[in-house]
Structure formats: C-alpha cells, structure tokens
Amino acid sequence: MAPLSPVSCFVFICMFILVSVNASTTPNIIFILADDYGYNDIGYHGSEIQTPNLDRLAKSGVRFENYYVQPICTPTRSQLLSGRYQIYTGLQHSIIWPTQPNCLPVSMTTLPQRLKDNGYATHAVGKWHIGFYKKECLPTSRGFDSFFGYLTGSEDYWTHYRNGGFPSTFMKHWYAYDLHDDLRPAWEYTGNYSTYIFTERVQNIITKHNTNEPFFLYLALQSVHSPLQAPDEYINMYSHIKNKNRRLYAAMTTCMDDAVGKIVQSLKDNLVWNNTILIFSTDNGGQVLQGGNNWPLRGWKASYWEGGMKAVGFTSSPLLPLNVQGTITKELMHVSDWFPTLVQGIANGNISDLTLDGFNVWPTISENKPSPRKELLHNIDAFEEKDKSVFNVNMTAAIRVGDWKLLTGHPGANNGEWIPVPDSGIEAFKPLLIPNQQVWLFNITADPYEYYDVSQSHPDVVSQLIERLGYYYNTSVPAYWPDFDERANPAYHQDVWGPWD
C-alpha cells in the first residue's frame, strides 16, 4: 500500500479532529410532532401514501412499535412537555379550547426549561395548544427562547384564521388570526401555507444557530390535522385516490414528508446533522372522518382503543450505535418518557429533583436494553366521587400493565370500530355491542388489534387492573374544565387570538 501524501494526511487528521469534536459535544435535538397522523399513513406500515423521507430516516434509525401517545392533542403535548400524566395537570378531560382560561400549570417545570438549564438554545415552531390565556402560559414564558406558530388547536393552513368553536355556538363568529412570531402577530405570512413557512423558519434557525451551544428544536407541525388543505402540486400526485378526504390527506402527508426531508438536508448543509438526534412522533391516532387511517388497529383519534393511541414514531441519528441503526424496538414507551429521556438520557441533565411519570428510555433506544416502563396509565377521565375506596367503572379510563390492557366506561370510536382504507375492498369486522358493557380486557401483546375481550375469563386480572386505576384515581387532581371567558373574544384584541387575563 502506497504511503499517504502530506495533503491526504492533513485532510485525514482534520476529519478525525472534526469527528472527535462532534462526538464529544452535547447533541442537538429536533423533536418533530405530526398532528392527527394515522398509524396506517406512513410508507413503512404499507400505506399507499408516499413518505420516502420518513421511511429513509426510520430505516436508518430505531423504529418504535410499542409506543403510545394520548388520544387527542392537548393531553399529548402537555405530557411531552411536562413528563406528567394528565391526571396530575388537571387536563384529563379534553383539549383546551381557545376561549377557556386554562393552560399547563405554570408551576410545573417544562422540558425546554430543564434543557435550557443544561445549556441548550430552545426553539418552538408550529402548534402550541397547551393554553395561552395569560402571558405566563405562552411558549416564551415556558422555556423557549423563540416561538413561531399558532396558539390554538387548528386553523386555516393559508390564512391562519380560526373561529372560537366550543363551548358556545355563537363563538363561531369569533373569527380571528392566530400566527405569532414570539409575542407579535405575524400578519405578513397571511396566504402562505403553514408547512412551508414552518419549514423555512426551522431552516433559518439551523442556519443562524451558534454552534458553540446545542439546540433543542420542537417542531409541532400543523399537518395533517383538518381542515384538509394542500398545495395543488401535491393534490395532483394523488388524483387516482377516489375518496376526496383521503386524497387531500395523502397530499398533506407527502407535503409534510418533503418538509422533513428539507430540514434534514439543512442540518447536513450546515454540518450539524452528525451531532443531531431527530425524533419523530404523531400526537394521536388518525381521524378517519378527515382522511386518516389506523388500519388494522381498532378505533381512531379521541378513543382509548389502539387506533387512538398507538403511535407512529422513530429516532434517527448518526450518533446511534451502528448495531441499533435500522432496528425495530417493541419495548413499551410513552410520550411522557421523552422528558427524562431527552434531559437525562441525551443531555446528561439532572431530573432527581422532579416528580415525573416518564422514564428514561434512551438505553432502550440506543443500547437495545429492556424498557424500564412496565405500566402505562392511558388516562382516567374522572368525575369526583365522595367514596373513592372502590373505582367506579362508569368512568372512562384505560391502563396497560405488562401484556394486559383494561378499558372502562366509554372508550369511544363507536365502541371501537375497525376502519379500513376507503375503497380498499376490505370488509372489516364490526365490534360486538353488549348493552351496558363497561369493562374490556385484552392481552394486547397476543391480540394487538383488540379482537378478543377476555374480561369474563380473567376476572382476577380485571380486579388487579381496576385496583391500579383506583390507586391512580386516589392520587389524581380534579379535572379543570373552566367555562368560556367572554374576555377571550378576539374583537377585544385587534382580531388576534392571544392572552386576555
């Protein structure tokens, strides 16, 4: 073998130094949260929707196939950013509506706050939806250095306007703008598609970032939540899909996929990809009424069946050991686990002073070790009772312990229907309707599609899991569900959704 030339030696040494420096620095973290993204809507699950960038990232990373989120938006986001079950934040009932004086309790330490303590620059782009009625609830008051996005739960992708919605029908006339650049209304983006402008903002943050400090970038995409809107170039890609909602949803999904691809390319162009960990997750199951699909899982968004909570998710990074790149983990994971995983597992930060419901699953992801999580409280949507000694199964709740999953009350989704992709020709089973049934039990490992309720044949397991629900109920705080506040009317605030208290 011929000896290396002086120039080649110099290049090799420089590359070695660069790799060594990157390997020793604290990793950057990008967390991408898709909205209402269905289990059956990503290429690697066999979807007809094209997601080449997501598929490529997942194939080179670690895919999660026993990973759960919450059935709807606010609960997932609150648990991601607090590491606490929603029974401890008062948010166990539903989402936060624009007119409700409510937010993730300001007394709670958030994920970006703790990452800032560990030297991270922190940025939020996209959807907030954990409350904004007072300034203390806003992203830049909860640990983010910057925020570009919208505060409510949904809006027009192009105009960035929305109405007031629930809880009073007259609030449909409370039609106002909701796109903010830190604390100011970002009027100049009216008419620009949200996926484009959020991608552009993320690219700008990456380009301008001071490489002497790590960054945490939380991108909560509007895609693929309703309203179903997409640029024509993407709609035309799916002219063969007959169902209009499915066609528009597919277009929005591929547009989202392209956005992720552009972000990763920006990381590479700015020479920071090799020191970045990317995490992708959905916030809940797909909404079948708006084009999403979770087949072959049972149920959909807003239900406690698997289709409402079992999530698309993966981690991708050159920092992952080679022996785990391209693998699938079936270890139990939950969205609340990201707080300790990012702070302790990736940033090497301290969480000993915090009470968390999440677990550090970084060894599970990066070393293929067993998950420390053996139990998962999906939720208890409780009403207050004087006698808490026996758990009332009229309350809607769900819990997972080992292989077992118990549901009580009203799990949703028309008793858990199985919904195939429109025009697929698949004839789905119909759930057995038993009048006044309030308890279901499944061995979710052996029966991941929840075909066989075994509550009658395993009364001992039912009793054990109801006892666990009782434990959680007795430690929970009451659900906080305030009435609407007239002061929220955007007409009082220059026709912009924002704080009013």
Active-site annotation, residues = 73, 129
Query: What is the DSSP pairing of strand 62-64 with strand 327-329?
Result: parallel
- The alpha helices in 386-458, defined as continuous H runs, are 413-416
Cα–Cα distance measured from residue 26 to residue 346, given in angstroms and rounded to the nearest whole number:
8
Identity at 427, one-letter amino acid code: E
Tally of CB atoms within 10 A around 75: 28
193-219 burial string, b = 16+ CB within 10 Å, else e? bbbbbbbbbbbebbeebeeeebbbbbb
**Residues near 115 by Cβ (< 8 Å), separated by ≥ 6?**
29, 122, 143, 216, 342, 343, 347, 349
Specify the DSSP class assigned to residue 95: P
Look up tokens 């699938």; give the residue: 328
Token output for 396: 């809607």
Interaxial angle between packed helices 194-208 and 244-269, expressed in degrees from 0 to 180 and rounded to the nearest 10: 10
Write the secondary structure of 264-315 as one string of H (helix), E (strand) and C (coil): HHHHHHCCCHHHEEEEEEECCCCCHHHCCCCCCCECCCCCCCHHHHECCEEE
Q: Using CB atoms within 10 Å of the CB of residue 230, give its burial: 0 to 12 exposed, 13 to 18 middle, 19+ buried.
A: buried
CA angle 61, 43, 251 (to 5 degrees): 120
The tokens of 334 are what? 């939950």
Sheet architecture: strand order including 28-34: 184-185, 180-181, 146-150, 121-127, 215-220, 28-34, 276-282, 313-316, 62-64, 327-329
Burial class (CB in 10 A: 0-12, 13-18, 19+), 259: buried
Chain position carrying tokens 């939540």: 225
